[in-house]
Each structure stands twice: as structure tokens, then as C-alpha cells.
Structure 1
Amino acid sequence: MSFRLIISAALALMASSAQAQGSAPAISYTRDIQPIFTEKCVACHACYDSACQLNLGSGEGAARGASKMPVYDGERSQAAPTTRLFYDAFGKAAWQQKGFHSVLDAQDSQAALMARMLELGHSTPLVPNAKLPEEIVLGLNRQNMCPLPGEFAAYAGAHPTEGMPLAVTGLTDQQYQTLQRWLASGAPIDEQSLAPSAKEALQVQQWEDLLNQPGARESLVARWLYEHLYLAHIYFEGGESGHFFQWVRSRTPSGQPIDLINTRRPNDDPGTQVYYRLWPVQGVIVHKTHITYPFGAEKMARVKSLFYSGDWQVAALPGYGPGRRANPFETFEAIPAKARYQFMLDNAEYFVRTFIRGPVCRGQIATDVIRDNFWTLFQDPDHDLYVTDARYRGQATPLLAMPGQNDDVGSVLSLWLAYRDKRNQYEALRRDNYADLPTPDWSSLWMGNDNALLSIFRHFDSASVTKGLVGEVPQTMWLFDYPLLERTYYQLAVNFDVFGNVSHQAQTRLYFDLIRNGAEQNFLRLMPADSREGFLDDWYQNSGKVKLWLDYEAIDDDKPTGLTLQDGDPKRDFARQLLARSGPLNASPDPINRCISAYCSRPGIDPALRYAEQALSRLTSRPAAGLKVIEQLPEATMLRIETRGGKREVYSLLRNRAHSNVAFMLGEAYRYQPGLDTVTIYPGVLSSYPNFIFNIPAEDVPEFVADMELARDAKGFERIVERWGIRRSNPRFWHYFHDLSQYIRETRPVEEGVLDMNRYENL
């Protein structure tokens, strides 16, 4: 008998003997197992990029098991079947019909696959605090092996140090024994679905009543609202901590169990009468998909005021299909444009999050269309021609259709050219019509609430967004108007199919390039006319000039700006004036990166942290040519600063890579300008995917900074890692990793979620 079988038999015997003697209670999945998964497994096994699609954030996911089919595949010629947990099937048998295999069941006298994977990991612990062996491949480049139960022996022979949890400090002895006892006893799952509280149930009913009112106007508004909120994790005023809800389409009305309509996209034909329903988000909340949205009495009143007032009418409800998906401006043209735009502006951070943190922005090919850091602004509705001028709106609407509905691989080029030309016709129409308006000034920027100013950071193969103007004045800024914001949302969220084929994904990526260019062109109208070509030359260097000539509509370099800006550096002067004007709306004052006095720290914090921030500011606003250590840094590093008094603060240290341009889908490495890379340091966790953690006593921060300034190469940086770094093999790795989530809980409770460690580097 093999060692594994001996262990499995012994554990099974111990479990049955203990239960027979009454010396140990039966193991509960909810009480005993899910907390272990949450602590040690969910960081890699959650959402679409779960290793082998094994999602351990819920009992349903654990029972579903694993699949060899990757969700993210940019090269497949045919769209893949959808495998969304809690959407596309329910129960182990239904998932096995879709090609999943159990990791919990013992098979052919062998212990469960999970038991053997855990045993392999537990029997080959990592050397504490040591760098991992080079042969262990990590990150998005790791091949998705996903051995079936009968293939485990070959996997273990080829990868003897790659048991579970993979390449990280593993389970405690107690956790290991608990999981093995549970698996040996048949892995029973007693999980209960999350249910709303009485107060939440009342609000659920009120919102469902609102969205399911009879009438053509009411039905069109409900459809638009659903398509704009289906990704939201909604939380209620006075609701329970940790309770979130999502909009779904159901065949059944309120008061009856939800009968889910699980179409591939939220705007696909439901094929039946639709009822919009709210159901609780099940399973562990993970940060990368946790896009929050508040519901309460004030929001209800706002929605009614925007959409249910006035005398506008709907002559006939639009249908569904590729044409309706491609152009939501035509589909929803009956709804006043100002209502649609204002609704999106009210919670602009949510909408930008959907396409910056959503499925489309997983992987370098998807994110390389944007620069590593930029600020986002919004045009005031009263200065948006699409909102204010019906004639212009009628001319523009047919030109705003988006590609991706036809995924024929052989038609990618012709489809792209057709939609590029339509978009450029729109840009020419916009340019010529805006040239007839008064010159744009500060009143043309929306400053309605703290969503008005956003900062976006790209971390190579992921991205994040935060309120306020964070970091040094960036190379580019984006200015969204309504047509641009709506198209970005539909192209990258509503219409994006993460299971789609190479044609669909290429069309999405190529059109996103046009979106970025449109946002840049909008911003350039605020700059002096004679400076605009110079900015374009800076943003589109080298090969980018070819893209400017081939694919982008010419900018208006005649119409003056209404702003008074310094000639030498008008963009920096614009930023200075914007910061002065935005006042309390700028949710993120940033003295560390934009130090304008002798004090480069936030007022009112612990003196030890003030001194730490003052020291950290020496690393910001310096190019890598003068701060060589930047070349060694990952994209998103977390600094955990501890004071002697027991306080701690978390900072994100972000590497901003410079590029000659970001206009092409491939060959990004050829467009790097490493000597121009910079770092941004800001309080908070500004990434769902930490690449590394440093734990530094506050009194050590000046020495840490000095060592960073002196480090010239990998060896110099490794000495810093050895002293303050938290490697994957650190015995307290999970304490420090989950303390990042705890910090979010303390500072922004509603945003808390388990972070992803698939990108945690082996430094």
C-alpha cells in the first residue's frame, strides 16, 4: 500500500473512531473548512483566473471542482462555453456535465485529489525566508497543468515541490489535519446561502418594485439601469456588514424564488418576460471583483428624479441583437441623454472601476493600451453637445456603434477598419461642432462631487482606480464626455465576453485604443492651441507617429482654450490650478508625491509616520536614470510601516513605466523608456494584486530609503529584500498579506475583500 493510502486510511480511521467515541465534533464546512480556504487558498483560487477554475470561495465552488479549460485565452478561434459560478450551472453533477472534475471525491482506492495535493505541499515545506527555487514558475506565465486524479502521480514526480498551497507558506499542522479529516470523511458541505436581513429585504422589495413597474418608459429605464449596474456589489443603507447584492434577470417576479436568465452578456435577448431581481452575493468577497455601489433613500430619490420625471415618452421598446448591443445610444435614445450621463457621473468611480478592474483588464495585452498613470476628468453635462443639442445628437448617434458583436476571425481587419472609420467620422463631427462653441474654460469640467477627479494606475497586467488626484502630474490626462464614457463602459464591460474568441478580444482591444485617443483629444482642447501638436508628439513618439497618421482623426489645433495657462508648461500649470480649484472635492491630497513645502507628509498623523513619509518622499518624482533601484521594483509593492506604539500604516509603492507610445497591441517591450520610470507612494492599498510586501519599523524608514537610493543593481536590491522583505516563504507571510485586507477594512470598510496573490513575486 502506498504512503498516501496509508495516511488517508489512518485519517479516515481516526475520524470515524473519534466520532464514535464522541471525542470530536463532526467537521463543519462553514465553521471549520471555509475559514481555512479563505485564509490559505482564496488568494489564488477565486474568480475567472482561479488556477484550474477551482474556486474555493464557497462550498459550491469547492464541490464544482476543477477544469483544464482556461477562461483567459487570447488565442482561441471559437468562443468557449461560459462557466460562471452561481450562473451557468448549480450542483456537482451539472458542473461535471460541463467538463469539471471533482477534487473532493476519493476515486479508485485513491484519496481525493485535494488531499494528495495538500499532502505534497505539507511534506515539502519551503525554507523559511528563502527565495524560491527558480524552477517553480509563478504568475500569469505559469502553465495551467490541472492534473486529473489519474494524472497526479506524474504531476508529483515532475513537480515534487509544487503541492498546495503553491510556493507559499502552507497550512498549519492543525489546518492540514482538519482538512484531511474532512476529506477522508467524504467532504460534506453544509453551507447555507446568505440571506438578507429584514431591513435589507424591505429595501430589496422597494428596488425590485421600482425596476419592475409596468409601462414602456418604465421598462426601458429598468433595462438601462440593469445594464449599468449588473456588475455592482450593492450595499444598503443600514444593511448588514459584509452583505452585498447583485442585479440579475429572472423569469419569476418578486416574492418567488429567482429563476435565473443566464445569457452570455447582460444585454443578450432573454427570450422571455424579464423581471429584475436582487440576490445576495454568495461566497467570499474578493477585492478584484468587489465593485461597490450604495443604495438607499437618497439614491432612490435621485433615480426617480433623473428617469421618472418629465414628460418624455417611449414609442416602442427596442429589441435585442447584435445591432442593439453595438449601439446603446440608439437602443436607449428615448431616455434623456442628460439623465443617462448624470447617473454615470454621480458614481463615476464605479463606472471607471468596471472597465479598469473588470475582466477585460486582466493581462498585459488588455492593459497595454493605457499608460501607467494618468488622471481622469469629466465634461460638465451643460457643456456636452451630445446632451444639449438634439441636432448634433442625431448626427452623432449612428457613428457611435462599437465592434465585437461579430467574432468571425477572418473578418477582424475589415471590421476594425469599418468601425475605425465610423469613429473618426464622429471625431471630425465633434471637432467641427465644438469649434463653433465658446472656448472651453473651467466651467466645462464637471465638479459635482468627489467622483469628479480620478487617478488610474496600470500595474503591467492589471490596473486600479482611486478617487482624487494622486501622484506627480502625469504625462497624459483623459477627459470623458458622455459618448466617450458610455462607449468605454459598453465596450469593456457590458459587451466584453471574457469567454470570447481572438477576434472578439482583438476588436475590443483595438477599439479601446481609439477610446484612449478620444479622451486625450478631449483634454487637448483645454491646452493652448499651439501646444497641442507638441503634446501629441510626446505621447506618440517613434512608431506612434505612424499610428497617428494611419488611424486617428486630426485634432483641432486652431480653436483657442478659454483657460489662462503658462506658456512654458501649460499642462503642469493646468494641474496646479486644478488642484487649487478642486479643494475638498480632491479626495486625495498628496504631499508625499507633490511636496510644495519643506513638509512632505500629511498633517495630523502620528509623528513617527510623519517622519517616515518625509523620508519616503525622497523616492518620488525622480526618474530611474537617477534612482536606479526603480529598475528592480515590481509594479505594485506594499510598504507596511510599524511604529513603536503599535500603530501601522500601509503605503502603495507603484512603479510607473514610461513608454514612447501605447498605440500598439504587441511589442510593448520595444517601447519601454526605463530611464524615465518613476514611483508613486501613497497611503492605502492601490492594487488588488500586491507584487511584494516590505514590513519596516518606522524608525528604519530613513535607512530603507537611503539603501533604496544607493542600490544600483539586483544584488543591492536583494539586500533590502533580505532585511525588510516578506517573501512567500516567510513564516508570517499570511499574517502580513491579510493585514492588507484588514487595513482596507479599517480605512474603507465597505471595500474590504481578499486580495489576489497570483502576481506575488519571488524576490
Structure 2
Amino acid sequence: MKALYLGFLSLVLSLSIYAAETGYSEHIQPIFTEKCVACHACYDSPCQLNLGSGEGLVRGAHKQPIYNGGRTKAQQTTRLFIDARQTEQWREKGFFDVLNPGQPQASLLASMLELGKAQPFAANSRLPDDLVLGVARKEECPAPSEFANYAQKNPHNGMPFAVTGLTDEQYAKIKQWLEEGAQVDWQPWRANSAEQQQIEQWEAFLNAPGARESIVSRWLYEHLFIAHIHFEGGDQKHFFQVVRSYTPSGKAVKQIASRRPNDTPGVKMYYRFVPVTDVLVHKTHITYAMSPDKLKHVKTLFLSDNWSTDKVPDYGAFSRANPFATFAAIPAQARYQFMLDDSEYFVRTFIRGPVCRGQIATDVIRDNFWVFFQDPQHDIYLTDSVYQDRATPLLAMPGQFDEISNLLGLWRSYKKKRNAYEKLRLKHYREAELPDWSHIWAGNDQALLSVFRQHDSATVRKGLIGEIPQTMWMMDFPLLERTYYQLVVNFDVFGNVAHQAQTRLYFDLIRNGSEVNFLRLMPHDVRENILNDWYQNSGKVKLWLDYTDIDDDTKSALGLPKRNSLQVFAQRALKRFEPINARPDPINRCRGAYCHRDGLTAEAAAVEQALARLAGRPAAGFKAINYLPEASMLRVELADGEREVYSILRNRAHSNVAFMSAESFRYQPGLDTLTVYPEVLSSYPNFIFNVKAADIPTFVRALEMVSDESGFRKVVEHWGIRRTHPQFWQHFHDLSEHIREREPLEAGVLDMNRYENL
């Protein structure tokens, strides 16, 4: 009885403390950041409830999902901070209140949290099979008046959903805050002096008068609008975005809410910088560095040459469809070099972003491949003005017109243009100098990129990571710019099925173009065999129907052997480009006795030596791969109290990736392999294993011994961190901390929507 009384007294005292301290910014948002933002952020927030800011919480929830690949009409945009500012405006758009301030008994937020608290799961237990997880789960978004019926039908669907929930203290804080009226205090941070000075300099540059200056500024804005910009000398937590505003520098920003960044603003507008004020989430945190030196470089790059224009392009559909024609006045060399300087950023924008769920792009790419870029001095589009004039009209892209009735007609028209361009390109490159190593750009450590697909998401990292992949890309300026415009600038996540289909189909052609461009480096008489390996079975239909012929006559000057040409190329490239290869990888490409990075302690080296046994082995002889998800994270606890984190990525093999559907018919599971690398190589971890360093050899042997699902389940029981693990959130957020320790500007909350129930 005494213990019960003391417990009650403690709760009363704690609530009295909360009554004085339950400010939203200081006490409530941190709870949401820890337990909710991992699911409730970006466009894939369940029920559009975004808990990364007070604005998102006050906006509330919506019954209509943003992702809908079958809608016949584009839906209204509901972008937080952009499409409305006042609560009443959001209500008019269909959002409903989840707070009900002052009446927590009627609050949908409180009810959802209470339901989750009332139905806890056993510690580290596997969730019931009938509890559907993942982004494909059908959303149920009950309004407050519908909650009772919802709870009765879905007793395990409280919040946080299907994961270790709030602590008693966190639950009490939120309840008390709701009872006090759920006030959302606003504590904006201010740019420091170094940031403010650079903002003023960049805004002055971007808003400078003159036709030449205006067209350059527009092109730069369209290439930076999605970036989280960090200024040299800035606070590590401070990031900005460049927007179009009704108001000039020195006045409060009033952002223009256009559907796309290249839609007409309709009024005189100004480029402005605004703080990124919501919680940083890794999937949308695509960083770009600015500095006084960068500004000086940009001015030199774009404005030092003797070019001029007296025409400012319009914002019509045809201008949006062909940026090569729209921005033809700007020297192509400047445009391409600007993109090359930060190529990792640009490839991230269309592989990792901007829409949080990337299957429109990712179902057309291999599970792992390397990307190279064509050197500007050997890109004919830059060096031959006659060819550029002939090619430019053929580079228009589909998606601006989304009439479903004319989908096939539109697609045939743009495919015809693209293939005419490929034929023109093939003819001119046959007459050009033979490609050698100088044709591959090697200007900085972003010249070599690795891409890993994890079903409907993907990761880009500079450096060549993993075993030598089956395919490689070499992108020139027309390929890089078209990919960026098609998947970032012109893509509308709210668009209809016709828009999305055109985007997907055209990106298939771009991927093919990047692969075919790479083939020019191979010996001419083996190119057809390599291409057939990339497009096996049904892929040959696409080679016949949609793609143009390759050049299998013009020789390469690389001097590669006919046998194992691609593997020999990769080995020579790794040696030649070693000074700029940001990520040497002895774990996955072990060729000797030492399969670990240099400079490690004996304990850490032994860990990597053991993990190397997992890499590169086909699933046909390594059954555990069949049960591993796309992106597992391995947290290794070292004896000194430190830890290392490794990504274990499953590379799914396909006969080809040339079609929009029926992926299962092209899947080759026996050829799946694993890539193991000491970084967090996904924004969407699918599972976490936590293993002491001394037990890593045992962990590896256990995986090697797996022969069926029950055997794999034993591995999970021993070392797995399930959603119900008491320390789930500590381990999950430690992945972000690992990123922060190594690359502080890249850190953000990871997404757990795809965390699996192993």
C-alpha cells in the first residue's frame, strides 16, 4: 500500500512539474522526433500527418493518400509550408484536427497513443502475421468521431504503430500538454552572421537585373530548389532552401506556391533563402554546400564568357519539356561543369529524392551499379555547335501533358524524338576520336558514384563500393540533365497515371542510353554480348521495340581484352582512379589475405575479416540471403565501448529491368548477393542486428548454416532487434548518430516505414 501511495505521489509531482514545463518546442516535439517522425514525415506520412514540426501537427490528418499510381486526375497539392499557412485553409483542403486542445478525451492524437499503450507487445517478440506492415499497407485514417469503431476493429493499430511505444513519462507529458490547451510555441532560429552575409550575397547575385543574369538565375534555381543548403561557417544544424518569393531581399519571404519549380510565377518574383525549420529526415536531406568561393566560381563559370542574350524564356509547357532549348543561350560547358562539380548531389536528387518513395525511378534500375561521367572535353554536345543545334530539338521530354486518352500518342512522339537523337548521336560518335581513359571525367571525388537500390528506394554514395557490378553507366550532359529534369524538376508526385507512366517509360530510355554510352568503352566485338547479358529473355523484346541499335563497329582505345572485358575495365579503373576513389572497399573486393580497411585495431580488423565471408556469394549456395531484406544494419559492439555500423545490402538479380510490371517474372533469386560496407547505406533500414565484436565469427557462421526460415529465425532471435525490442529506439537512432559522427551535415532521422517483421 505504501509503495502504491509513493508511486501515486511521484506521478502527481511529475505532472505538476510538466504543468510548468510542457512547452511544445522544448518538451513535446522531441518526443515526436524520437518516436513518431521515423514514420510521419514527407509525403509518405500515414494519413498525411507530418509530425516533424508544429505546423504539421496543427495541420492534422487527411483521408486521401498522396501516392496513388492509378488516379486518372492530378490531385490538389498539399505541401506543408507551401500550399497553405492558416489552419482554416488546411481544413478547406480536407485536413481534420487531431488535437482538440483542452479536451484530451476527445483528441485523436491522445486516443491513438492510448490505444498503442493499452496493447503492448512482448519484448522483442515477432508481431502477429495479420498485422500488415510496410508502405503498401492500406491506410485507415479515422476522424475523431470514427475512432471508437476503428479501435474496436484494429486493437493493435494504436500509435506508435507496431513498435515499442512511448514511455510512461512521455505519455504523461503529451497528455498534460493537451489538457493545458496544446499550445504550439514557435522558437525560430536565426541565421548567424556568416550565414546572413552569404545569403545577402547570393540573393544579390540571383536577383541581379539583366536578361543574361535572369536566365542564369532561373537555371540555377531549377537545379537547387530541392537542396538543403549549408553555408560555410554556418551552424551544423542550420540549412536553408532557395525559393521564389513575392517579396525582395530585406522583407519577409512570401513563397510562391507553384506546382513545379519551372511553372510561371505569374508575378514579378525574387529568389530568396528560407530556413529549413522542420526536423531533418535523411530521406529528404539532400545537402548542397555554398561558400564565398563557390559564389565566385559560379560567377566565373556562367558570366565570364563573352555570351549574351536579350531574350528571357517563357514558362510554357514546351519550355519546361526541353531545358536544352529553353536555356540554349547559356554555354552548355558551364551548365555541365556546374553539375559535375557536385554530381553526387544531382544523382541523389533523382535516385534518393525528391518524393520519399522512389519506385517510379527505382524499378527501372539494377540493384547495384557504378556511374561514370563523360569528360566535358569529349562530350560532342559541348564541343560541336552544329551537332548541338541538331540535337537540341530532339531532347524534349514527356510528362507536361497528362491526357490519359492520348497517353500512347504522346509516348510514341517522345520515344521517336529520343530514338532519332540516339541515331544522330551514334553517327557523330562513330566519326569522333576513339574513347580512351581521358574520356572519363576525373575532376574530383564525386566523379565515381555507386548506386544501391532497395526496392522502392535507393542510395547514392561517392566512390566505387561493392563487388564489380553487372552494369555500369556513363552519363554525358544530355543524359544527366534529362534525368534531372524528368525525375526532379518536371515530376509531380500529385500527378495522374499518365504523367507517372510517361516519366517511368522515358527514364527507362535514359537508363538504356547511359548503359549504351558506357558500352563504347568496351571492345567493339563484345558489346552485343554484354548488351544481351543486360537484357536477357523479355529484355530482348525491348531491344527490338524501344531501343536503338548500338555501335558495335567503332573500336575503343582502352585496349581491353575481349574476355571478361567489363571486369578488367573495373579493375583498371579502380587502380587508375585510386586517388579520387572516396571509398576503397577491401571487404567486398578482397583479393588477398587481408579483407579489411587499413588503420583498424586488431579487434575491428578481425570483424571485417569475418564479414568479408558474407560478400559476393550467390544465394544459390548461401541460403540466408533468401531471408534477408534489402537493407539490414549490423551494429557491432567493440570491447572498448565503441561501436561500428555496417550495412548488409541484398542485391537482387534480374534478367532485365526494362518493364514497368511483372518484376517477379524477371527476378533471378539464385544470383542474389550481399554487399557489406561500414556505413549506413540506406535512408530506410529494414532490420538491425546487434552483435558483440567477439561474436561476429559466430554470427557469420550462423548465417552460413541457415538452410530454411526456421534456421534464419534462430539468428534473428539471438541477435535481432525487432520492432518490439525494449531498446529498439536507442538502436534505431544510433544509426543516425553514426552518420552524424562521420558526416555531421548529412545526418537526419531515418525512416522506419519499411522495418520488417523478421
Q: How high is the TM-score relative to the length of structure 1?
A: 0.97
Report the equivalent of 1:656: 651
3-state secondary structure, aligned to 2:636? strand
More off after superposition, 400-409 vs 110-119: 110-119
Report 1:82-231 matches (<5 A).
Answer: 82-105=77-100, 110-231=105-226
The residue identity in structure 2 corresponding to 1:323 is: F
CA deviations over 1:590-627 (Å, ceiling 9, x no partner): 00000021000001012211101000101111110111
For the residue of structure 2 that corresponds to 1:464, the secondary structure is strand
**Aligned residue number for residue 745 of structure 1:** 740
Could you say which residue in structure 1 is the equivalent of 2:578? Answer: 583
Letter of the 2:322 counterpart: N
2:386: which partner in 1?
Answer: 391
| 2:665 corresponds to | 670
With over 3 angstroms needed to count, the CA separation of the structure-2 counterparts of 1:107 and 1:408, relative to structure 1, is farther
1:284 aligns with 2:288: no
2:757 equivalent to 1:727: no
**2:324 match:** 329
Deviation at 1:510, TM superposition (A): 0.3
Deviates more, 1:137-146 or 1:185-194: 185-194
Rounded to whole Å, the distance in 2 between the matches of 1:55 and 1:204 is 28
Cα deviation, 1:448-491, whole Å, max 9, x if unaligned, reads 00010000000011111001000000000000000000000000
- The question of 1:565 aligning with 2:560 is answered yes
Tell me the SS of whatever aligns to 1:80: coil
CA distance in 1, matches of 2:104, 2:669: 56
Q: 1:479 — aligned with what?
A: 474
Task: Letter of the 1:64 partner, please give it.
Answer: R
CA–CA distance in structure 2, aligned partners of residues 232 and 196 of structure 1: 17
The match for 1:549 among 544, 547, 570 is: 544
Partner amino acid, structure 2, of 1:756: D
Letter of the 1:518 counterpart:
G
- For the Cα contact (< 8 Å) 2:43–2:356, is it kept in 1? no
The DSSP-based 3-state class of the residue aligned with 1:625 is helix
Q: Which residue does the alignment assign to 1:339?
A: 334
Contact 2:19 2:177 in 1 (8 A): no
Whether 2:392 is the aligned partner of 1:368: answer no
Contact 2:325–2:393 (CA under 8 A) maintained in structure 1: yes
2:336 maps to a residue whose letter is: Y
Q: Which of 731, 735, 756 is the aligned partner of 1:736?
A: 731
Equivalent-residue separation in structure 2 for 1:18 and 1:694 (angstroms): 37
Q: Are the equivalent residues in 1 in contact too, given 2:243–2:274 (CA < 8 A)?
A: yes
Contact 1:365–1:666 (8 Å) recurs in 2? no
What is the CA deviation profile of residues 696-742 of structure 1, one whole-angstrom value per residue up to 9, with x for unaligned ones? 10011101111111101111110000000000000000000000000
Conservation of the 8 A alpha-carbon contact between 2:635 and 2:688: yes
Q: Distance in 1 between matches of 2:560 and 2:737?
A: 44
Tell me, what secondary structure is at the counterpart of 2:620? coil
Shift of 1:317: 0.7
- The alignment status of 1:444 with 2:434, answered yes or no, reads no
Where in structure 1 do 4 or more consecutive aligned residues deviate above 4 Å?
106-110
Matched, 1:400 2:395: yes
Q: Which residue of 2 aligns with 1:528?
A: 523
Q: Which aligned pairs between 1:619-638 and structure 2 lie closer than 5 A?
A: 619-638=614-633
User: Quick check: 1:441–1:562 contact (8 Å CA) kept in 2?
Assistant: yes
Is 1:349–1:465's contact at 8 Å kept on the other side of the alignment?
yes
CA distance in 2 between counterparts of 1:297 and 1:277 reads: 17
C-alpha contact 1:634 1:691 (8 A) present in aligned 2: yes
Tell me which amino acid in the other structure corresponds to 1:31: E
User: Alignment partner of 1:498: what SS?
Assistant: coil
Q: Is the 8 A contact 1:372 1:657 kept in 2?
A: yes
Aligned counterpart for 2:34 among listed residues 36, 39, 43: 39
Match of 2:485 in 1: 490
Distance 1:572 1:519, change over 3 A: same
Q: Give the corresponding residue for 1:7.
A: none
CA separation of 1:664/1:18 partners in 2, compared to 1, >3 Å: closer, same or farther? closer
* In 1, Cα distance between equivalents of 2:46 and 2:183: 23
Distance of 2:638 and 2:613 partners within structure 1: 20
Residue 314 of structure 2 corresponds to: 319
Q: Choose which of 349, 352, 355 in structure 1 pairs with 2:344.
A: 349
Alignment match, 1:241: 236
Cα deviation for residue 164 of structure 1 reads 0.4
Uncovered stretches (5+) of structure 2, i.e. residues with no partner = 1-7
Shift in Å, 1:584: 2.0
CA change 1:108–1:470 in 2 (3 A) is closer
Distance 2:752 2:502 in 1: 30
What does residue range 453-464 of structure 1 map to in structure 2 within 5 Å? 453-464=448-459
Is the Cα contact below 8 Å between 1:359 and 1:498 reproduced in 2?
A: no
Q: Distance in 2 between matches of 1:487 and 1:394?
A: 16
Report the AA paired with residue 752 of structure 2. Answer: M
* Residues in 1 aligned to 2:743 and 2:399: alpha-carbon distance in whole angstroms: 36
Report if aligned partners of 2:630, 2:650 keep a CA contact under 8 Å in 1: yes
What TM-score results when the alignment is normalised by the length of structure 2? Answer: 0.97
Is residue 407 of structure 2 the alignment partner of residue 412 of structure 1? yes
Deviation at 1:14, TM superposition (A): 7.2
| Residue among 593, 596, 616 paired with 2:611 | 616
SS at match of 1:222: helix
- Cα drift, residue 193 of structure 1: 2.6
Alpha-carbon distance change, 123 to 532 in structure 1, aligned in 2, over 3 angstroms? same
Mapped partners of 1:531, 1:101: distance in 2: 61
Q: Specify the SS of the correspondent of 2:106.
A: coil
Q: Which residue of 2 aligns with 1:4?
A: none
Pairwise CA RMSD? 1.6
Instruction: Answer yes or no: is the 8 Å Cα contact 1:63–1:91 preserved in 2.
Output: no
Local SS of the residue matching 2:149: helix
Partner secondary structure for residue 458 of structure 1? strand
One-letter code aligned to 1:469: L
Identify if the C-alpha distance between structure 1 residues 23 and 139 changes in structure 2 by more than 3 Å, giving closer, same or farther.
Answer: closer
Structure 1 gaps, min length 5:
1-9
Contact 1:103 1:114 in 2 (8 A): yes
1:517 aligns with 2:512: yes
Q: Which amino acid aligns with 2:742?
A: T
1:3: which partner in 2? none
Q: Distance in 2 between matches of 1:362 and 1:731?
A: 29
What is the CA–CA distance in structure 2 between the aligned matches of 1:237 and 1:395, rounded to whole Å? 42
2:3: which partner in 1? none
Which one of 596, 605, 618 corresponds to residue 601 of structure 1?
596
Paired AA for residue 755 in structure 1: L
Identity %: 62
C-alpha distance in structure 2 between counterparts of 1:631 and 1:612, whole Å? 23
**Residue number in structure 2 paired with 1:5:** none
| Shift, 1:388, TM fit | 0.6
**CA gap 1:390/1:23 in 2 versus in 1, 3 angstroms:** closer
Please say if residues 398 and 503 of structure 2, whose CA atoms lie closer than 8 Å, have aligned partners that are also in contact. Answer: yes
Which residue number corresponds to residue 686 of structure 2? 691
Aligned 1:1-40 pairs, distance under 5 A: 24-40=19-35
Shift of 1:162: 1.3
After TM superposition, give the deviation of residue 674 of structure 1 in Å. Answer: 0.4
Q: Tell me the matched-pair count.
A: 750
User: Would you say the 8 A contact 1:628–1:713 is kept in 2?
Assistant: yes
Q: Which amino acid aligns with 1:664?
A: F
Task: Describe the shift of the 1:577–1:99 C-alpha distance in structure 2 as closer, same or farther (beyond 3 A).
Answer: same
CA offsets 1:662-708 (integer angstroms, 9 cap, x no match): 00000001100000000000010000000000001001110111111
Contact 1:387–1:393 (Cα < 8 Å) also in 2: yes
CA distance in 2, matches of 1:599, 1:204: 49
Q: Is the 8 A contact 2:15 2:172 kept in 1?
A: no
* Residues in 2 aligned to 1:379 and 1:255: alpha-carbon distance in whole angstroms: 42
